[in-house]
Amino acid sequence: MRVAALVIALITMTASMQSQVTKQAFGKTPDGTAVDIYTLKSGALEARIITYGGIVQSLKVPDKNGKSTDVVLGFDSIDGYTSGPKPNAPFFGALIGRYGNRIANGEFKLDGKTYHIPQNDGTNALHGGTKGFDKYVWKAKEIPHGVELTHVSPDGDMGFPGTLTAVVRYTLVGKDLKIEYSATSDKDTVLNLTNHSYFNLAGQGNGDILNDQLKLNAGRYTPVDDKLIPTGELASVEGTPFDFRKPTAVGARIGADNDQLKKGKGYDHNWVLDSGGGKMSEAAEVYEPTSGRVMQVLTDQPGVQFYTGNFLDGTITGKDGKVYKQRYALCLETQHFPDSPNHPKFPTTELKAGQHFHSVTIFRFSTR
């Protein structure tokens, strides 16, 4: 009897440790398209993904005392993401494509032809143009431990060549939120997929992130011009406010008399990861001392955009009525470098016709 009871207890414990996936309705877009939300649970962790924009709508993570709190910025309803004076302007939690980050003048050349992307960031194209992947409802299906999202971008969409099929899998296993990106195109094109979650490990809306301890495994970064476009230089972080090779408070040097910080109104730059890309390595680690939460970012991408919510200004009210003020969150967007199609010396973002793109990023949570 004791053995049988032990076996039952072990089976129950194993089942409770496995990820659970449920699906619910999350409203409709202004044109009437239904949006669903998938809830992924693994132990004390819970991630909620909506099919509109593939957005991480909520991410609950336990602190050092076991209390779970939502650590990503966003909205309680679909209307927050689709309507208002700045529809989805901060790209809270969204999948970004076809090209994450900036393309100078919304223009690049490929195979001898010049392509034009709508300019939506001054003279730049940002995050795929005026209607990037963040503004579509993705087709979704449940998979083990998560959800698989698919979006087909037609040839010429936002000016990009080729019919591109993008597949993104979110899974939650143990303490890892894993994002797996895949894509194919029927013509040569350029591609830079990422996720734009805004993290506050003290809890969304609970103050700024200036006391967070950040480590970036990068000895170089890409300085920018007045339009936040890389100059092409791979500059050393040595002796600059951009040196996070050892854990350093985000706010320790954010107000330094530094031309690059002034241009970005804080940190809004791409770091060149020491790993060089192509293999899974730790890109970053964030430690929030009050809650004890730790987030590691692992990726096979060559860069990470570190952004300190500089353009949040208190005009957005998010989940639970929380007002999002400047530097109330940070982003760590794993990526290829901004404006790579116009910088031949940067790692290429070209995706050849018929070639299969695949990349993985993991957000791993713990406490100390």
Task: Map the chain to HEC letters.
Answer: CHHHHHHHHHHHHHHHHCCEEEEEEEEECCCCCEEEEEEEEECCEEEEEECECCEEEEEEEECCCCCEEECECCCCCHHHHHCCCCCCCCCCCEEECCECCEEHHHEEEECCEEEECCCCECCEEECCCCCCHHHCECEEEEECCEEEEEEEECCCHHHCCCCEEEEEEEEEECCEEEEEEEEEECCCEECECEEECCECCCCCCCCCCCCCEEEECCCEEECECCCCCECCCCEECCCCCCCCCCCEECCCCCCCCCHHHHHHCCCEEEEECCCCCCCCEEEEEEECCCCCEEEEEEECCCEEEEECCCCCCCCEECHHHCEECCCCCEEEEEECCCCHHHCCCCCCCEECCCCCEEEEEEEEEEEC
Ordered domains of the chain (ranges, CATH): 20-367 (2.70.98.10)
Options 196, 269, 336, 343, the catalytic residue: 196
pLDDT band at 17; cut points 50, 70, 90: low
Nearest in space to 50 (alpha carbons), one of 129, 175, 140, 118: 140
Distance from C-alpha of 63 to C-alpha of 291, rounded to nearest angstrom: 5
Options 46, 148, 285, 333, the catalytic residue: 333
Write down the pTM of the prediction: 0.94
Weakest-pLDDT range from 6-10, 232-236, 265-269, 336-340: 6-10
For the segment 259-281, the average pLDDT, to the nearest whole number, is 97
Residue pair 58/72 in contact (Cβ under 8 Å)? The answer is yes
Residue-wise pLDDT tens digits, 291-318: 999 999 999 999 999 999 999 999 999 9
Residue pair 149/138 in contact (Cβ under 8 Å)? The answer is yes
Q: Which two tokens stand for residue 330?
A: 């940070």
Residue pair 297/363 in contact (Cβ under 8 Å)? The answer is yes
**Cβ contacts of 85 within 8 Å, gap of 6 or more:** none
Instruction: Determine whether 107 is an active site residue.
Output: no
Q: Look at residue 85 and tell me whether its pLDDT is greater than 60.
A: no
**Amino acid found at 200:** N
Residue pair 183/194 in contact (Cβ under 8 Å)? The answer is no
Nearest in space to 133 (alpha carbons), one of 161, 102, 167: 167
Weakest-pLDDT range from 4-8, 18-22, 61-65: 4-8
Q: What pLDDT is attached to residue 364?
A: 98
CA torsion, ordered 46, 47, 51, 54, to nearest 10 deg: -170
Q: What pLDDT is attached to residue 16?
A: 44
Instruction: Determine whether 333 is an active site residue.
Output: yes
pLDDT band at 345; cut points 50, 70, 90: very high
- Tokens 């509109």: give the residue: 52
Q: Look at residue 87 and tell me whether its pLDDT is greater than 70.
A: no
Tell me what the pLDDT averaged over the chain comes to: 94
CA-based max dimension of the chain: 76
pLDDT band at 2; cut points 50, 70, 90: low
